[in-house]
């Protein structure tokens, strides 16, 4: 255990990235989180914590408020795939509070996600 601790840098703080995705991209959430980790960031994703609105067993406003709190605590917001109305609201919040936003198109190639120019993701 000591050798493991010596090999890791526990004092390193990585930027936190909020992964924004629509319900159409929901099925890729684990691949998206893996991609963010491989890029050297710490991911946060409401769909990983709350599933898909906790099967509507919790007031949706409470989940949206929690989701927005995660965005406020993030260093960046990354949008994956098409933008739904909900993702558009997340982007608007990030813009209002000055969080950098990056967009990624889904790809059928070996590289699953391709960065795109700002705001070029299509609306659902």
Q: Pairing state of beta strands 76-80 and 16-21? A: parallel
- pLDDT at site 82: 92
Contact 56, 30 (CB under 8 A): no
CATH number, residue 25: 3.40.50.450
First to last CA, the chain: 48
pLDDT of residue 4: 45
Let me know if residue 95 belongs to a domain: yes
- Is residue 55 in some structural domain? yes
Q: Does a structural domain hold residue 121? A: no
- The per-residue pLDDT for 95 is 98
Structure tokens at 109: 């190639």
Residue 23 is predicted with a pLDDT of 86
Query: What's the rounded Cα separation, in Å, for the pair 124 and 122?
Result: 6
Structural domain of 111: 13-116
Our measurement of the distance from residue 26's CA atom to the centroid of its chain's CA atoms, rounded to an integer in Å, reads: 11
Strand boundaries in the chain, DSSP class E: 16-21, 42-44, 76-80, 101-106, 113-116
Per-residue pLDDT of the chain (124 residues; tens, 9 = 90+): 444 455 556 667 899 999 999 988 888 999 999 999 999 999 998 876 666 555 567 787 888 898 999 999 999 999 999 999 999 999 999 999 999 999 999 887 667 788 887 655 544 4
- 61 within a domain of the structure (yes/no): yes
The answer as to whether 18 is a domain residue is yes
Three-state DSSP class for 118? coil
Residue 107 lies in a domain: yes
Q: How many domains does the chain have?
A: 1
């Amino acid at each position: 255990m000591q050798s493991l601790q010596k090999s890791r840098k526990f004092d390193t703080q990585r930027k936190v990235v909020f992964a924004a995705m629509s319900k159409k991209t929901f099925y890729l959430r684990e691949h998206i989180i893996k991609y963010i980790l491989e890029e050297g960031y710490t991911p946060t994703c409401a769909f990983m914590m709350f599933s898909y609105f906790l099967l509507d067993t919790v007031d949706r406003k409470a989940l949206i408020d929690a989701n927005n709190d995660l965005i406020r605590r993030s260093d960046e917001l990354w949008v994956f795939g098409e933008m739904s109305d909900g993702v558009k609201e997340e982007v608007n919040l990030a813009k209002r509070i000055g969080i950098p936003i990056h967009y990624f198109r889904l790809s059928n190639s070996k590289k699953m996600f391709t960065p795109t120019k700002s705001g070029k993701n299509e609306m659902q």
